[in-house]
Amino acid sequence: MNKAKIAVLVSGGGTNLQALIDAQKQGILLSGEIKLVISNKPGAYALERAAGAGIDTLVIDKKSCVDHAEFEQKLMDALAENGIDLIVLAGFMVILSERFTSAYPKRIINVHPSLIPSFCGEGFYGLRVHEAALKYGVKVTGATVHFVNEIPDGGEIILQKAVDIQDGDTPEILQHRVMEQAEWTLLPRAVEKVSKNIANE
């Protein structure tokens, strides 16, 4: 069986990466295989998770690059060298340029911790998303997996899952519930769905 070769791009702890690794072990992610984990930050805990699962890792330190274009070129070179079919952004804190995203149409996936089009776009990441949802007073939030294009959080939606907001929620409590109830199940399902399409091409 042909499997899509997946690269996961990370910047931090790698909880969404762990969800993908677990999904691969459990046979939820069947049509694709994580071949490479790339971090823009040395020392990101996600790298340890990948190494523990026997997945190749690579650090492309953005700070050591002359500019954003050089950073993206190094990324593209690494993806090409490894024959990567699908790129998954899992807590990757770098906005990718149109030059990069247009090179991989419908081949880059991101998970965002709200129901797009609410609380998304530039500046909405991490706890800020949950702070905004609570401040606005919405009763339902959730997570969205979408394709990545040149507009932050602007690509076509693949899957969404709603999560209820509860009395007494803090941004931290809400963040964890959205991860547990939505992100960690949604992302593997979306990656499998897109991988299957790629593998059948």
First-residue to last-residue Cα distance in the chain: 12
Distance of alpha carbon 179 from alpha carbon 186, whole angstroms? 9
| φ, ψ for residue 37, nearest 5 deg | -120, 125
The CA radius of gyration of the chain, in Å to the nearest whole number, is 16
Query: Of 112, 130, 146, 176, which is the active-site residue?
Result: 112
**130 catalytically annotated:** no
Helix residue ranges per DSSP H, 13-86: 15-26, 45-52, 68-81
- Tokens (6 digits) for 14: 């790698």
Residue 15 near residue 92 (C-beta atoms within 8 A): no
Active site residues: 112
